[in-house]
Amino acid sequence: MSISNFETILFEQKDEVGIITINREKKLNALSEQVLGELTQLLEEIKDSNKDWGLKGLILTGAGEKAFIAGADIKEMTEMDLETAKKFGKLGQDLTLSIENMPIPVIAAVNGFALGGGCEMAMSCDFIYATEASIFGQPEVKLGLIPGFGGTQRLARIVGRNRAKEFIFTGENITAQRAYEMGLVTKLFTNKEELMAAAMKTINKMAKNSPMAIYHSKMAVNKGVDIEVEKGLDSELNYFASSFATEDMKEGTLAFIEKRSPNFTGK
Ligand code: CAA
Q: Residue 238's domain is classified under what CATH number?
A: 1.10.12
How remote is the CA of residue 210 from the centroid of ligand 1, in Å?
41
How remote is the CA of residue 70 from the centroid of ligand 1, in Å?
5
Do 138 and 222 reside in the same domain of the chain? Answer: no
pLDDT at 243: 73
Q: Please tell me the residue having the least CA distance from ligand 1 atom 13.
A: 27
Confidence band, pLDDT 50/70/90 cuts, at residue 1: low
Do 44 and 61 reside in the same domain of the chain? Answer: yes
Active-site entry in 65, 120, 166, 194:
120
Q: Give tens-digit pLDDT for 182-216.
A: 999 999 999 999 999 999 999 999 999 999 999 99
Q: Please tell me the residue having the least CA distance from ligand 1 atom 29.
A: 66
Nearest-5° Cα angle at 36, 30 to 41: 145
Do 199 and 251 reside in the same domain of the chain? Answer: no
Do 202 and 228 reside in the same domain of the chain? Answer: no
Q: Give tens-digit pLDDT for 14-61.
A: 999 999 999 999 999 999 999 999 999 999 999 998 988 899 999 999
Residue closest to 11 by CA, chosen among 59, 48, 47, 50: 59
pTM assigned to the model: 0.93
Please identify, by atom number, the ligand 1 atom nearest to the C-alpha of residue 115: 45
Q: Is residue 267 part of a domain?
A: no
Element (H, E) at 145: none
Residue 120 annotated among the catalytic residues of the structure: yes
Enumerate long-range contacts of 175-183, CB under 8 Å, 24 or more apart: 175/134, 175/135, 175/136, 176/110, 176/130, 176/131, 176/132, 176/133, 176/134, 176/135, 176/136, 177/132, 178/136, 179/128, 179/130, 179/134, 179/136, 180/130, 183/158, 183/159
Confidence band, pLDDT 50/70/90 cuts, at residue 102: very high
Pocket test for ligand 1, best of 27, 28, 76, 84 (most atoms within 8 A of CB): 28
Q: How many domains does the chain have?
A: 2
Average pLDDT score over the chain = 93
Longest Cα–Cα distance in the chain:
64
What lies within 8 Å, CB to CB, of 135 at 6+ separation is 112, 113, 114, 115, 173, 174, 175, 176
In this predicted structure, the answer to whether residue 11 has a pLDDT above a threshold of 70 is yes
CB 150 within 8 A of CB 124: yes
Pocket lining: 150 vs ligand 1, CB cutoff 6 Å: no
Do 231 and 113 reside in the same domain of the chain? Answer: no
Q: For a pLDDT cut of 70, what percent of the chain falls above it? A: 99
Q: Is residue 218 part of a domain?
A: yes
Residue 132 annotated among the catalytic residues of the structure: no
Q: Is residue 1 part of a domain?
A: no
Residue closest to 125 by CA, chosen among 111, 113, 137, 108: 108
Q: Is residue 153 part of a domain?
A: yes
Do 248 and 184 reside in the same domain of the chain? Answer: no
Q: Which domain holds residue 162?
A: 9-206
Do 85 and 186 reside in the same domain of the chain? Answer: yes
Reduced to 3 states (helix: H, G, I; strand: E, B; else coil), residue 16 is coil
What lies within 8 Å, CB to CB, of 241 at 6+ separation is none
Last residue of a domain, one of 191, 206, 221: 206
Phi, psi of 29 (to 5 degrees): 60, 30
Residue closest to 128 by CA, chosen among 47, 60, 193: 60
What lies within 8 Å, CB to CB, of 57 at 6+ separation is 16, 17, 18, 104, 105, 106, 107, 202, 203, 206, 207
Q: Give tens-digit pLDDT for 128-179.
A: 999 999 999 999 999 998 999 999 889 999 999 999 999 999 999 999 999 9
Q: Give tens-digit pLDDT for 209-255.
A: 999 999 999 999 998 887 877 776 787 788 777 878 889 888 988 98
